[in-house]
Amino acid sequence: MSACAKRALTTIPTIVWAVACRILESLSRREAAARLDDLFASVGLPPDAKSLFPHQFSGGQRQRLCIARALTTRPDIIVCDEAVSALDVAIQAQILNLLVRLQAERGLAYVFISHDLGVVQHLCDAVAVMYLGRIVEQAPTAAYFSAPRHPYSWSLIAAAVPAGPARDALKSRYLVRGEPPSPIDLPAGCRFAGRCPFAVDRCRAEDPPLLPVGPGHAVACHRVGEIRPPNLDAAQAA
Ligand code: SF4
């Protein structure tokens, strides 16, 4: 599913074609029409939406259309790349609820790519955090948010704490500074070392492997057993 539903639809003449083009090849017109009606109903769009053009839909409706397109091939897994990032909060909630319902009804799995930790915590069963193309921490969602272990995870979660004294205190110690290095000219050692407040010489020389630290929980950090995480629960409650 595209992160930009509008862009995904703008070159297509009508919505009926936008969705049907994926299934017309394998079905008769009557079967395809029935499939379209079923798909539109399942994503919460009225049947007459098929005759409209992309510009006649709202952002939330476009995202529903992209979900319908993704469902045409009856997939087992859908990659949702920033699927709700461009939507306002109310529409985000509707689309997330739709994804949850479709998952339950159709037995789907999602690879949900997002920078919004609140959405990740709400929707996902497991989390994998990437930095510069490398997984630096992965864990079941509850374990990840109750006890994150990687300094990059700490900075991400600290950045999501509402502005105020608690966030200021976290910021001074855990928020990263500077820019990431170029992905085509990666430094030796840990890719996060240039921005990590806990980096030591070893970090700049050796790339840390992803190693288990608990049930289903793995971290790529040389100092995972030494450094202490921030008290994020207290900060979020402040
Ligand atoms: S290996 Fe070193 S630089 Fe990398 S995250 Fe751990 S402490 Fe920071």
Question: pLDDT tens for residues 75-95?
Answer: 999 999 988 887 888 889 999
| Confidence band of 231 (pLDDT split at 50, 70, 90) | low
Q: Which of 9-23, 54-68, 134-148 has the weakest average pLDDT? A: 9-23
- pTM tops 0.95: no
Q: Cα(227) to centroid of ligand 1, in Å?
A: 10
pLDDT confidence of residue 3: 42
Expressed in angstroms and rounded, the spacing between residue 152 Cα and the centre of ligand 1 is 9
The whole-angstrom separation of Cα 36 and Cα 29 is: 10
CA angle (141, 172, 194) in 5-degree steps: 75
What domains can you pick out in the chain, each with its CATH number? 5-123 (3.40.50.300), 139-237 (no CATH)
Write down the pLDDT at residue 60.
Answer: 85
Atom of ligand 1 minimally distant from the CA of 136: 5
Q: Which atom of ligand 1 is nearest to the CA of 198?
A: 7
Tell me the mean pLDDT in the region 195-222: 96
Confidence of residue 19 (pLDDT cuts 50, 70, 90): low
Nearest 5°: phi and psi at 60?
-65, -40
Cβ of 192 less than 6 Å from ligand 1: yes
Q: What's the mean pLDDT in 175-183?
A: 81
CA of 145 to the centre of ligand 1 (A): 19
In this model, does residue 7 exceed pLDDT 60?
no
Can you tell me which atom of ligand 1 is nearest the CA of 204?
A: 3
Helix axes 151-159, 165-174, angle to 10 degrees: 150
Per the prediction, the chain carries an average pLDDT of 84
